[in-house]
Amino acid sequence: MSQLINFREYPAANVLKKLLKDNTTGRNIIFATDIYTGNPKDEITEKYILSNGIEHDICPRVEKAANIQTIRTRKKAEVFTPSWICNKMNNHCDAEWFGRDDVFNYELGGDWVTNEEKIEFPEGKDWKSYIKSKRLEITCGEAPYIVSRYDAATGEIIPIKKRIGILDRKLRIVNENTLNEKEWLKWTYEAYKSVYGYEFQGDNLLIARTNLLVTFVEYMMYRFGRQPVQKELNEVTKIIVWNFWQMDGITGTVPFGKPTEEFHQMSFFDYAQGINDTEPVQVDCKIYDWSEKTEITYKSIRS
């Protein structure tokens, strides 16, 4: 069983059905890899996760067998980035936003030293605008640029005070600038609404979503010494599932097209019109515009 992710225990077990949802298809996300059932189009189900032995467990890449890692690298160019590189790139983005270097930490070879002082904001910008600034991790894998619970390359757990993910930085700002639980929850949800990621392979996406969920729990424990209640878990999970979705990044569509079961029965008229049910039906992926409170397609914001 994975030492980094556990779908059979709190908090993932409390919202597992929700974590598996695909908001575009209305069904579950699919494996999009053949290492589990042999069919990449199979949906990931609660039953599969909870009833299979440990040899079928969905786990982070660093805990997968070496031969499986090699296969996935060869087939999907899957190589996960060490935390020090994620930190370097996130530092560059923050230097652009703040107009100065070393805002959250300074780099020290393959490591970094955290800035312990309260973060100061440049003229014309404040902490709320930083929280709301949008960030997207493309082909996000387990989302190491967004949350840094562990080093994706080594599996080493990273303490909260030393975390360097984009969302980790936002949650630090929330911690430094809110006075009570109500305010903290409001701005933590805003932070979650501001970070996005898409991924082709369903196991990676499920792990990414779970990493964001567990991060929520860990920061609440760190700040208030309690675990989130079910209502709070449901709210943050809803945001996570909308903002981290399954997609073919080249086409902006659902991997392998519309789920097979949704195809209608072919008729003589269909054949006469040249409709072929062997061709996958492309489905544009949907995301959610939280400011306008409406569903939109990913393609609509990319073009």
pLDDT value of position 63: 75
Convert the pLDDT of each residue in 154-193 to its tens digit.
999 999 999 999 999 999 999 999 999 999 999 999 999 9
For residues 69 and 301, give the distance between their C-alpha atoms in angstroms, rounded to a whole number: 33
Span 26-31, average pLDDT: 97
Confidence of residue 293 (pLDDT cuts 50, 70, 90): very high
CB 297 within 8 A of CB 286: yes
CB 191 within 8 A of CB 169: no
Give the residue with greater pLDDT, 202 vs 266. Answer: 202
For residues 156 and 260, give the distance between their C-alpha atoms in angstroms, rounded to a whole number: 40
pLDDT value of position 262: 47
**Rounded to the nearest 5 degrees, what angle is found at the Cα of 95, between the Cα atoms of 91 and 97?**
115
pLDDT value at 103 more than 50: yes
Per domain, the residue ranges of the chain are 12-302
pLDDT value at 196 more than 80: yes
Pairing of strands 294-297, 195-199: unpaired
Classified as helix, coil or strand, 23 is coil
**Radius of gyration for the chain, computed over Cα atoms and rounded to the nearest angstrom:** 20
Convert the pLDDT of each residue in 120-138 to its tens digit.
999 999 999 999 999 999 9
For residues 286 and 299, give the distance between their C-alpha atoms in angstroms, rounded to a whole number: 9
Span 111-118, average pLDDT: 97
CB 160 within 8 A of CB 214: no
pLDDT value of position 273: 47
pLDDT value at 264 more than 60: no
